Structures are given as structure tokens and as C-alpha cells.
Structure 1
Amino acid sequence: MSKKNNNLLLIFTRNPELGKCKTRLAAKVGNKAALEIYKFLLAHTVSFTRKLEAEKQVFYSEAIWENDIWDNHIYQKKLQNGLDLGVKMQNAFQDGFDSGFEKIIIIGSDMYDLSQEDMEKAFAKLDDHDYVIGPAEDGGYYLLGMTNFKKELFENKAWGTDTVLSHTLEDVKTENHFLLEAKNDVDLYEDIKDIEAFQPYLKHIEE
């Protein structure tokens, strides 16, 4: 292992292609604006992860892009592998633990509210907790971290619904876990309409 304390950050991302990302947001703002917003969120994710003291792996949804916003010298690039989100995440975690990492955290790439400080806190909580979870305000989670692989976390979940967090907490209720503060991920127009940073992408929207 490197000097990076056996920390591994998994970043799940969609290839930013017109009509293929942020579809629920696109229903209100249109495909073009949704793509621009997603690219903005990708750039933000790079900004708060690139200097983090951890190995970093980006998992693409469709295909690995060699020359894009994710610097090849900073991020190892992989392809998501599995039939649903649970299997894909399970495979990524399993591979990480098999490679010798001791603390592994996964995030998506649509979190405007996350910072490098938040990520450092999450890894630090894994020093004395087996699991760390960042609850999303929509009933899912924006971050999941662990020091012990637990496949139940990836099974029997209705991914993308508001039951994911409650079912995940049920899985770890007898485990040593820590809950981070709830944050808002970006899925819908309502998630961003009052945030100043997104206004340039929303000028064409009529309330």
C-alpha cells in the first residue's frame, strides 16, 4: 500500500452525454441544460477530491474516457460492472478490499454540497467506526464507507427510491456506524432552483 493510509475513494459517474444524464432534471430544464449542469457537478467533484489523501478510482457507466475531466495521473479509471447499482457498488468495494485497501468510501458525482473537508471527516470516522453513511435528503444516501465488507448493504434495495437509506440503516443497526449530516443531492429542478451557482443554467426556465 502507498502512503495514502490505505484509503480508497470510489467515484461513480455517468458518461456526460446529451440525453443520458440527469433525466429527471432534464424533464424540467431540457437535455442541453441538464448536460451542462452535470458537467458543472463533475467539475465540482474533481475540485473536492483531487487533493484528497486517498487512492481514487472513477467508475464510468458506459465507457472509459481517457481524455476528460478526470486526470489520468490522479484517478484510476474503471468501468461499472453489474446488472444494477447494488451489484456495481458491491463489485467495486469487493475489488478494493481484495486489493488491500482498509477504508473504502463511495460517492456519486452529483453532490454540490460536498467538500474536501467532508470527505476527510468521513475517512476519519472510519478510524473508530466500521461504517459511515451520508444520508441524502431524498431518502437515499450520498456517501457510504466501510472497513468491513458487508454484502447485505447492496442487496434487496429499490435503488433510486426513498427507501434506500432506511433499509441500509436497518442493515447496520447492530454494527458500529456513524451518520454524517444529511445533504441534498441533485436530481430534480427543485434541488437547484434556489442555489446561486446553478442560475446561469436556468435562465431559460419559466416558473
Structure 2
Amino acid sequence: MNTVINILSKNPDQTNCKTRLKTLLSKDDRSFISKVMLEMTCKAISKIDVKKRLYLYPNIKGDFIKNLSEDFKLSVSIQKNGFLSDKIYSVLNVQDKTISKRILVGSDIPSINTSDFEECIGLLDRYDVVLGPSKDGGFYFVGVKNNAHEVFKYLKLDHITLNKMIEECLRYKFDYGLTRVLKDIDSCEDLLFI
């Protein structure tokens, strides 16, 4: 098992999730949809023989998280504070020498499935970085091997576009591959595509 899949998420029971949906959905509804999407992501990775980690903000409290970690055999940790790029770098900066492939995924991609992760793992045999493009111009996951996570180290960004990541890969001379385009759920309009 030389691969780890990391999920980056807000704790749906402990914080105000999906705030850009608050004009359409109540806090309870947003918490519910966040839980459903997080559980869908956990189900997708549960079928793969890899290490599985869940990084949460602001804490790891609550029965939902406890049950999720037990049901899907997830190691659970608190996210590092700072920019999104800092959080990604921190998660991917694994010191475990037995881990050669590291994947980080968001928790708001309802159409993601097991084969998306399997494709990423396979592509990491050929590429230093693998990106899953999202329809909004960002990316829903990133896979890295060796020291390719360094592309995030000095970004200091909360909004990272796919084009910015490609630019950084080229600057660092990392080969990159792309998987299929998927839709993440960030806004009211995004809900129309589910």
C-alpha cells in the first residue's frame, strides 16, 4: 500500500458549510448536503486498497465524523490553518517514506467514483502531478508523487485555478496529466447540474 487518498472537508456538524448556498438552503440543509457528498466520496475510495485520511476544519468532533471514520476506516485529523494552498501542501507533505503516491480530493464532487481515483493512481506511474479539472476552472483533486507537492508550497492562494496549477507544474518542470472534467458544488447554480 504505497498510496494515500486524503479528503479535505469542513466538518458538517461543527461549522457553517456551503455558505454560498445560503440564499437557497438553510444551514441544516447545507449540513445535510455536505454530509451526503462527503459520504459519497468516502464510498468511492472505500473500494481501493490504499491508506485513507480525512482532514477536517475546524475540528474532528461529532457522531457523524466518528461513524464515518469507523465505517470507512479513515484516519481523521484537523486541517492546518491558512490559505487553501497551505492546507493542500500540508496534507501532501507526507513524511512516511512508504507512501509514494499522494492524492487530495475535496468533498463536494457528487459524481466522483472509484474509477476516477484508480485512474489517478495509474497516471501517477507516468506523471509527477495529476489534476482532476472541475467545470468552474479549478480542480477537484490533485495527485502527486515524489516532491511534486512543492508546487503548492509558496502559492499563498485560497482560489487556485487549473491554469495556475499547470503554470506551476511547467515552472517546476513537473510532468502533469489530466483526468475527466467533473462538477463540484460551490454555488446555487451548481446544484442544477446534480
What is the TM-score normalised by the length of structure 2?
A: 0.88
Q: Deviations over 1:150-194 (max 9, x none)?
A: 42334335423xx52111110112421101111100111211225
Query: What is the match of residue 106 of structure 1?
Result: 104
Q: Which amino acid aligns with 1:125?
A: L
Q: Which amino acid aligns with 1:172?
A: C
Query: What is the match of residue 153 of structure 1?
Result: 152
1:127 and 1:182 mapped to 2: Cα distance?
20
Which of 22, 25, 35 is the aligned partner of 2:31? 35
Residues 8, 194 of structure 1: alpha-carbon distance in 2 compared, 3 angstrom cutoff: closer
Which of 39, 52, 57 is the aligned partner of 1:56? 52
Query: What is the match of residue 76 of structure 1?
Result: 75
Larger mean Cα displacement after TM superposition, 62-71 or 173-182: 62-71
1:185 and 1:44 mapped to 2: Cα distance?
13
1:138 and 1:155 mapped to 2: Cα distance?
23
Alignment check: 8 A CA contact 2:134 2:184 kept: yes
Structure of larger gyration radius: 1
Aligned-pair distance for 1:63?
1.2
| Paired residue secondary structure (2:70) | coil
Aligned-pair distance for 1:87?
1.1
Aligned-pair distance for 1:27?
2.6
Q: Deviations over 1:102-154 (max 9, x none)?
A: 00000011110100011111111001111100111111110101112242334
Alignment check: 8 A CA contact 2:14 2:59 kept: no
What is the TM-score normalised by the length of structure 1?
A: 0.83
Query: What is the match of residue 10 of structure 1?
Result: 6
Query: What is the match of residue 118 of structure 1?
Result: 116
Gaps spanning 5+ residues in structure 2: where? none
1:71 and 1:51 mapped to 2: Cα distance?
15
* Identity in percent: 25
Q: How many residues align?
A: 187
Q: Deviations over 1:48-102 (max 9, x none)?
A: 11121210111111112362322277111111113222112111111x2x11110
Alignment check: 8 A CA contact 1:18 1:35 kept: no
Gaps spanning 5+ residues in structure 1: where? 196-207
Report the aligned-residue RMSD.
1.9
| Paired residue secondary structure (1:82) | coil
Query: What is the match of residue 178 of structure 1?
Result: 177
| Paired residue secondary structure (2:132) | strand
Q: Which amino acid aligns with 1:171?
A: E
